[in-house]
Amino acid sequence: MAALLTDQGRQRLLVQASQATCGSGPTYSAARQWGQTLAVDDNATGFAAGHTNLLSAGSITNEFDVVLDFTPTRGAGVAVNTYTATVPAGSGNFTHKRASWHDDTPTNVTTSSTTLNGGVDGLSLAKTVDFSMQYVATLTVT
């Protein structure tokens, strides 16, 4: 299993931390948070640093989006955001091969939207209507 923060995701994280725009790069809306939506899909191809959307790595048959909730915690010399997303029992019922973070609302995240900031690939999590599935991730800055 591999996790990757894309070039766009790294830039977005640093730009948003300063609530600024990039001199020669893209301009971002302050209303769009770095980790706003979790998407799961059934594409087995890994993420690459230059990817900006889910289709950058090939075709997708199934994809589902859900809001990411986060809880920030801070301590001596460290800040941590814990992101949580729950795929309900009646949704996202396919084998999840990738989970990804997007900087827009679930309504606006699609397989072709340029909202991808990073993700984890190499998964094989069979989701059925019989249960919900929760994803938890942490982003730590030291």
**Coil vs helix vs strand at 24:** coil
φ and ψ at 13, to 5 degrees? -60, -45
d(CA 39, CA 24): 29
Domain ranges of the chain: 2-141
CA-based nearest residue to 66, from 127, 12, 4: 127
CA dihedral of 140, 77, 21, 81, whole degrees rounded to 10: 30
CB 67 within 8 Å of CB 37: yes
At 100 the pLDDT is: 96
Averaged over 69-83, what is the pLDDT?
A: 80
The whole-model pTM stands at 0.82
For residue range 80-135, list pLDDT tens digits in order.
888 899 999 999 999 999 999 998 899 999 999 999 989 999 999 999 999 999 99
At 98 the pLDDT is: 97
For residue range 2-34, list pLDDT tens digits in order.
777 787 777 777 666 655 555 555 666 667 777
